[in-house]
Amino acid sequence: MSSEKYIGLDVHQATISVAVMDSRGKLVMESIVETKAATILEFFAGLRGTLFVTLLRELSELSTRRYVSAIDFASIYAGLGEKDLAFASLEKAYQQRDPRLIIWLNLHPEFETLRSDARMHDLLRRIGLPND
């Protein structure tokens, strides 16, 4: 039996309704979370593993049809605890001069686990952002 999970989102201004289903379509979990990055990431952190891998697989497949920022891959790798892959993706985003790096690196919580790493300090320095 597959342990893959599928997620459905209904996004509103203040909340997101989330439904998680197993591979047979059976509802595993249902929740409403605030539409704030930290709250959403905290929710998804409890769904690690197959969900992140499924997101990564879907993102890889989508990237064959259209541009997908390396930052999107980096955020998933960071969520999986794959620091080396996250930094490789961040470096690719830097090489591509992705303007989202300026906002995402210091502000978005998905990169919190990377902020103490010397590679993050080096990347921030090269971009010209503070290294606090």
Average pLDDT of the chain is 76
* Structural domain span for residue 128: 48-132
Q: How many domains does the chain have?
A: 2
Both 69 and 119 in one domain: the answer is yes
pTM of the full structure: 0.60
Q: What percent of the chain has pLDDT over 90?
A: 21
Element (H, E) at 21: strand 15-22
Q: Which of 13, 31, 46 is the last residue of a domain?
A: 46
- Higher model confidence: residue 78 or residue 27? 78
**Of residues 92, 83, 80, 85, the one with CA closest to residue 115:** 83
Q: Does the structure show a pLDDT above 70 at 110?
A: yes
Q: What is the pLDDT of residue 62?
A: 73
- CA 74 to CA 99: how far, in whole Å? 15
Establish how many alpha carbons lie within 13 A of residue 36's alpha carbon, considering only the half-sphere containing its beta carbon: 4
- Within 10 angstroms of residue 127's Cβ, the number of other Cβ atoms is 13
